[in-house]
Amino acid sequence: MLQRSAFFFLGALLLGGCGHSLTSLPGFDASAWQRDARGCSGARQAQLPALDSSREQLYNEHVSAITDLLGRPDQEELQELTQRVYYYYVTPGPQCQGAAASAAPARCLTVRFGSLGTVTEVLYTGGPTSY
């Protein structure tokens, strides 16, 4: 019985250690990023240098780790084979209401997830096709 309990504990310990969580990036203020909904106040744009210098750390991270770090995406696109794309606006644009709005398309941080739910691509784009 003791051997069986030890085996179970060891198995649980090993399985628990398989995943890793991206808790922070050097110089990146995740709470400021998350408070700047749709990139309208400029706080996300100010965080871009820190995010860009640590961008490689985002690859192979799971959807939940990215959501914990960056918050819920401003837009999400579901694609074939359970792939998804998260869009985070980083500059004011048509998605903003009021004086901060610009006629120019907003710049986006685009995060692509593969069918296993891990990051396969991180890039900056002109944004999704619709606002």
Output the six-digit token pair for 6.
Answer: 């030890």
Burial of 73 (0-12, 13-18, 19+ CB in 10 A): buried
Three-class secondary structure of residue 58 per DSSP = helix
Tell me the pTM.
0.77
- Fold type of domain 22-125: Beta-lactamase Inhibitory Protein; Chain:B, domain 1 (3.30.1450)
- For CA atoms 71, 23, 118, 55, the dihedral sign is positive
Q: In the predicted model, is pLDDT for residue 110 greater than 80?
A: yes
Least confident of 4-8, 22-26, 73-77: 4-8
State residue 7's pLDDT score. Answer: 47
For the chain, the structural domain boundaries read 22-125
State residue 95's pLDDT score. Answer: 86
Cα 106 from chain centroid (whole Å):
17
96 vs 66, which has greater pLDDT? 66
110 vs 97, which has greater pLDDT? 110
State residue 93's pLDDT score. Answer: 85
Q: What is the 3-state secondary structure (H, E, C) of 89-131?
A: ECCCCCCCCHHHCCCCCCCEEEEEECCCCEEEEEEEECCCCCC
CB 119 within 8 A of CB 61: yes
Output the six-digit token pair for 37.
Answer: 């909904």
